[in-house]
């Protein structure tokens, strides 16, 4: 409301519609009536989302199609800003309606508790997208501040702050330079910028999740884990089981399965998978780039399913470290390449960056042009060091054990030395430039 008071009416309206939908669903067992209630709830909420997020995109696309056919429509362009968190709270509210319809939960009769579920402040803006059966019961409990919650919650917040201001915000300097002027850089500089965005978006988004989970844990509320070391995945399918888990599982449970999932034959399964990822791309943003990004992920998922049915002529030992390492690196490079469409300002910029990736000059390896991207040599290499530390932590979490559990089991002196060391690193090496570095997923 401090930003735009009228937009608070949107979340209030969405809350009331889905709350009443749940109440009415709880009062009838008539199948047709229940479907009408769910349909009404979805229609109203998705129309709001379409109006504020997608109207201009579809208007411009329709205009372009008709211009191509020799007809000028001159459809209007709306001047509304995207309401904060609308994609996240809309999906969270709609999942509640479906859960009540499926009788997986009872309708929430206390509108205050339900409104808190929809607008729970730590995860309102960028998730994780919580499930009603996980979060609603916790909001009814008497939650008190405990030492264990304070300790583990503060650890998550501290780690999130490190990833955000020390790694993501420093990498963003290079990323913005490249993506705002892609024609000025080739070869090594372009490659560095593309790789940096891959690390930046992970650190930025997972940092928000860590901070949201940490703040919630201080209050005794447990939010779902949204990331599970995704860059150590060995294929695209596994990557989406580890990346933005709350969104991936939302699309699985509320779109893929209702479309038929894998129950209607092989071809329908592939179509359903592709449609889910195409929709996921559109969910992220109203532009051709996001649609292409989602479509490419969908195509790769389908190809993986197809290839998995064919027996390889090569007899690889899939348990060997070298095989796993090769698969992880290959998958990371594929994901990183696809991020170009996600980050580029326009489709034309994406094509320039892809072209320049392969336009190498050997002299650039030695002439220091990489420091023209915005970080001095000292800043560049210290940031690389912190990225390496982050990857070691992620590796430990993925293949050995929980790093937080390891830290919590150490002596008091060790723990507090580590905590104070991280605080000092955040203060000294964090990027606190004049330009505010918002979380990337605030735009969705």
Catalytic residue set: 284
What six digits make up the tokens of 286? 């109203």
Entry field: residues in the chain: 444
- Contact between 342 and 291 under an 8 Å Cβ cutoff? The reply is no
The residues, ordered by sequence, that sit 6+ positions from 171 with a Cβ below 8 Å of its Cβ are 196, 197, 199, 200, 203, 383, 387
To 5 degrees, how large is the angle CA 369–CA 374–CA 375?
90
The residues, ordered by sequence, that sit 6+ positions from 7 with a Cβ below 8 Å of its Cβ are 1, 83, 84
In angstroms, the Cα distances linking 132 to 11, 222, 243 are 17, 13, 21
| Residue carrying the six token digits 């054990």 | 401
Q: Is the dihedral of CA 87, 92, 93, 95 positive or negative?
A: positive
What secondary structure does DSSP assign to 205-262, as a single string?
HHHHHHHHHHHHHHTT-PPPP--S-GGG-SSHHHHHHHSSHHHHHHHIIIIITTTTTT
Burial track 116-153 (b if 16+ CB lie within 10 A, e otherwise): bbbbbebbbbbbbbbbbeebbebbeeeeeeeeebebbb
Q: Is the dihedral of CA 174, 164, 348, 435 positive or negative?
A: negative
């Amino acid at each position: 409301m401090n930003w735009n008071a009228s937009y608070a009416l949107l979340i209030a309206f969405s809350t009331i519609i889905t709350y009443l939908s749940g109440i009415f669903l709880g009062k009838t067992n008539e199948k047709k009536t229940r479907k009408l209630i769910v349909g009404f709830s979805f229609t109203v909420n998705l129309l709001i989302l379409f109006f504020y997020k997608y109207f201009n995109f579809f208007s411009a696309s329709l205009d372009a199609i008709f211009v191509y056919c020799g007809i000028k429509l001159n459809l209007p362009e709306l001047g509304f800003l995207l309401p904060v968190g609308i994609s996240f709270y809309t999906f969270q509210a709609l999942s509640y309606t479906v859960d009540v319809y499926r009788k997986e939960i009872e309708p929430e009769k206390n509108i205050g508790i339900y409104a808190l579920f929809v607008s729970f402040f730590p995860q309102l803006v960028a998730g994780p997208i919580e499930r009603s059966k996980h979060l609603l019961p916790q909001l009814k409990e008497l939650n008190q501040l405990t030492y264990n919650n304070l300790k583990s919650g503060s650890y998550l917040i501290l780690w999130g702050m490190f990833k955000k201001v020390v790694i993501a915000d420093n990498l963003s300097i290079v990323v913005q330079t490249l993506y705002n002027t892609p024609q000025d850089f080739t070869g090594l500089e372009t490659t560095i910028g593309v790789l940096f965005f891959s690390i930046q978006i992970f650190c930025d988004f997972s940092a928000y999740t860590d901070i949201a989970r940490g703040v919630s844990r201080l209050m005794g509320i447990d939010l779902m884990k949204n990331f599970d070391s995704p860059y150590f995945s060995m294929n695209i399918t596994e990557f989406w089981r580890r990346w933005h888990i709350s969104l991936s599982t939302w699309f699985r449970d509320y779109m893929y399965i209702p479309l038929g999932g894998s129950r209607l034959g092989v071809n329908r399964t592939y179509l359903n998978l592709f449609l889910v990822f195409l929709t996921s791309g559109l969910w992220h943003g109203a532009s051709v780039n996001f649609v292409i990004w989602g479509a490419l992920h969908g195509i790769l998922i389908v190809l993986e399913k197809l290839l998995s049915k064919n027996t390889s002529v090569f007899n690889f030992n899939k348990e060997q470290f070298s095989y796993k390492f090769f698969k992880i690196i290959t998958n990371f490079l594929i994901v990183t390449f696809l991020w170009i469409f996600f980050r580029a300002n326009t489709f034309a910029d994406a094509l320039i960056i892809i072209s320049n990736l392969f336009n190498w000059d050997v002299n650039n390896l030695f002439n220091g042009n990489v420091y023209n991207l915005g970080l001095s040599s000292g800043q560049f290499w210290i940031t690389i060091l912190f990225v390496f530390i982050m990857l070691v932590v992620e590796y430990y979490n993925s293949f050995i054990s929980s790093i937080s559990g390891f830290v919590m089991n150490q002596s008091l002196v060790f723990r507090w030395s580590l905590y104070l060391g991280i605080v000092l690193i955040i203060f000294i090496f964090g990027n606190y430039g004049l330009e505010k570095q918002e979380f990337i997923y605030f735009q969705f």
